[in-house]
Chain A
């Protein structure tokens, strides 16, 4: 590991000034990803500016139902917050589905958004990776990619964003607030992550040296009826193979409001807007849910070994929306909405399992 300087920031202005003065400096939050990447040599900062003592650890929920979550709030404190659990249950569930109790006690909200992909080629400094060394190539396209992206990937990078929390934030129209030496700014999460294109090393639209100060959520009554579901290779403590945040409001059998986002399918948390368009105003029934998933998955371009994800996401979407529809309309509607439109091939010819 490269030697580095360490400073503990006590106010936001001081923290951003330190980073402004040293382009090789990095902010240190919980460290659960950065420290690991320093050990493997992927990250080689000259200085760490510790931001955990900054007064950014509060969660405020207004009467109107908007939330402001400080950037240094730990994952644990976010998931246990009673108003978050009441108004955005899928956000609490998403955070609880990530990592382990130990890591959730350390990891921060700001850091969660900025964590790096867990693609094995990215972590292996002995080989090429366009995200780590621009222009060096992407071995995953022809290599080990069973858990890589099916949406919006390019030949330059096919890795996925690992965050669970981000999937819920994408569904609930989160906005990221930040500060630089030049002042404050904000980015809707929809614009926060850059498309992969031919520059996978450029991951966010944050200006250089920016410190995330908070994440805000607008009021969304539909979010009270939400759920996060995560599929992984073991029962707990593993990154997602596919995940979903769904919120659904049904009135007289019709979808009155909906939010849908997917995880582990792209280089960023994936808001499924094409699916939402199909759903809004349509009958709250399994056939609609399947059509909505298909509309979103029409753009899927799976690789040789991950076409199964197309099927997984389709089935996951139908299953969770069906559950939410059943919850919304009482047990009698359970049979009307279900059973989930079971074993199905995706529009891009995904294998059935």
Chain B
């Protein structure tokens, strides 16, 4: 039986549909960079060890180098280019990295930022980490300490060693998100009164 080794697929990237003909060997990372010109996602190790290619798939952070494009059909893919509207304000995580120098050469930065966006959501959703003392649900949510941030961000390597500023940037963006949520809750309460 002759099996086809390529497919016509549609990729949903940053809210736009892209029709592509792909050799099945094409990774999602190569499809994004070489076919869709979305070169924000970087190829570091190409073996899932550095995190430079981190993108969100259905809202969850993943490495694009260990997925085949054909297997990503039907999923919502968000790259660093899609975090903030074009011409609008930066995503709060992007702004925090800029303000606090959360990078040096910048090569790992898109992956760091995509990962951090998801880390903040995961923590807000109550996900424990390997740095969480007690994972039992009764112990309540852990606070996003620098130790927690370092553990949760450990899938993103930075060869320049900008980790100190990266941790600060993630912490600030997480604090801002928490403050926004408190503000939203307060105004909902006011509206209810």
Chain B 36-75 interface 0/1 with A at a Cβ cutoff of 8 Å (1 = within):
0000000000111001001001001111001110110000
Q: State how many angstroms separate the Cβ of A214 from the closest Cβ of chain B.
A: 22
Report A-chain residues with C-beta under 8 Å of the C-beta of B46: 39
**Interface flag for B186 (CB, 8 Å):** no
B63 touches which of A6, A86, A103 (Cβ 8 Å): A103
Against A, the Cβ 8 Å flags (1 = close, 0 = not) of B148-175 are 0011111110000000000000000000
- In A85-131, the 8 Å CB interface with B consists of 85-86, 89, 92-93, 96-97, 99-103, 105-106
Q: Name the A residues within 8 Å of B90 (CB-CB).
A: none
Query: Which of B99-107, B114-122, B177-185 contacts the other chain?
Result: B114-122
CB distance from A29 to the nearest CB of B (A): 10
Contact across chains for B155 and A106 when beta carbons are under 8 A apart: no
A50 interfacial by beta-carbon distance below 8 Å: yes
Q: How many residues of A contact B (CB 8 A)?
A: 38
Closest residue of B by beta carbon distance from A87? B136
Residue in A1, A82, A92, A105 whose beta carbon sits within 8 Å of that of B25 in the complex: A1
Q: Which residues of A contact B125 (CB under 8 A)?
A: 80
* A32 at interface by CB-CB < 8 Å: yes
The residue from A3, A86, A99, A236 contacting B24, defined by CB atoms under 8 A apart: A3
Given A36-B48, A89-B135, A236-B154, A6 and B24 touching (CB < 8 A)?
Answer: yes
A85 to B128 alpha-carbon distance, docked (Å): 9
B135 touching A93 by the CB < 8 A rule?
yes
B24, A4: Cβ atoms under 8 Å? yes
A31 contacts partner chain B, Cβ-Cβ < 8 Å = yes
Query: By the criterion CB–CB under 8 Å, are A31 and B136 in contact?
Result: no
Q: A5-B4, A6-B68, A31-B67 are in contact. Are A101 and B115 (CB under 8 A)?
A: yes
B16 beta carbon closer than 8 Å to chain A = no
Distance in angstroms between the alpha carbons of A307 and B48 in the assembled complex: 31
The answer to whether B24 and A5 have CB atoms under 8 Å apart is yes
Contact status A85-B66, CB under 8 Å: no
Tell me the chain B residues, 118-150 only, with Cβ under 8 Å from chain A.
118-119, 122, 125-130, 132, 134-138, 150
Q: How many residues of B contact A (CB 8 A)?
A: 46
Cβ of A48 under 8 Å from chain B: yes
Closest to A40 in B: B47
Q: In the complex the two chains form, is A92's CB within 8 Å of B128's CB?
A: yes
Q: Which residues of A contact B66 (CB under 8 A)?
A: 31-32, 35-36, 103, 106
Q: Does B23 contact A (CB under 8 A)?
A: yes
Does A79 have its Cβ within 8 Å of any Cβ on chain B?
A: yes
Rounded to whole Å, the gap between the CB of A161 and the closest CB of chain B is: 19
Is the pair A102, B23 in contact by a Cβ cutoff of 8 Å? no
Q: Are A96 and B47 in contact (CB under 8 A)?
A: no
Q: How far is the CB of A99 from chain B (nearest CB, A)?
A: 7
Task: Say yes or no for A76: interface residue by CB 8 A criterion.
Answer: yes
Assembled-state Cα–Cα distance A237/B49 (Å): 9
Asked if residues B24 and A48 are in contact (CB atoms below 8 Å), the reply is: yes
Residue B3 at the A interface, CB < 8 A?
yes
Chain B residues with Cβ below 8 Å from A93 are 130, 135
Complex Cα spacing A285 to B24, Å: 58
Whether B51 lies near A102 (C-beta < 8 A) is yes
**Quick one: CB contact mask for B1-16 with A, threshold 8 Å, 1 for yes?**
0011101000000000
Q: A182: CB under 8 A from chain B?
A: no
B residues near A13, Cβ cutoff 8 Å = none
Q: Are B25 and A3 in contact (CB under 8 A)?
A: yes
The one of B25, B27, B67, B156 in contact with A106, judged by C-beta atoms closer than 8 angstroms, is: B67
Task: Let me know if B3 and A103 touch, CB within 8 A.
Answer: no
Contacts A5-B3, A36-B66 given; indicate if A50 touches B128 (C-beta within 8 A): no
Inter-chain contacts of B155 with A (CB < 8 A): 99-103, 237
A85-B128, A101-B155 as given contacts; A96 in contact with B135, CB under 8 Å:
yes
Check B60–A4 contact: CB distance below 8 A.
no
The answer to whether the Cβ of A299 comes within 8 Å of any Cβ in the partner chain is no
Q: Taking A5-B24, A80-B127 as contacts, is the C-beta distance between A101 and B137 under 8 angstroms?
A: no
The CB with the most chain B CB atoms within 10 A, among A6, A32, A92, A101, is that of A101
Q: Kindly list the 3 A-B residue pairs having the minimum CB-CB distance in the complex, ordered from nearest.
A: A100-B155, A5-B3, A236-B154
Known interface pairs A8-B71, A36-B66; 12 further A-B residue pairs with C-beta atoms within 8 A, sorted by A's residue number: A3-B24, A5-B24, A6-B70, A35-B27, A36-B48, A46-B3, A79-B127, A85-B137, A93-B130, A96-B130, A105-B57, A106-B62
A-B contact pairs, 12 of them (CB 8 A): A5-B5, A28-B71, A48-B71, A80-B128, A85-B135, A86-B136, A93-B135, A96-B128, A100-B51, A100-B156, A101-B154, A237-B155
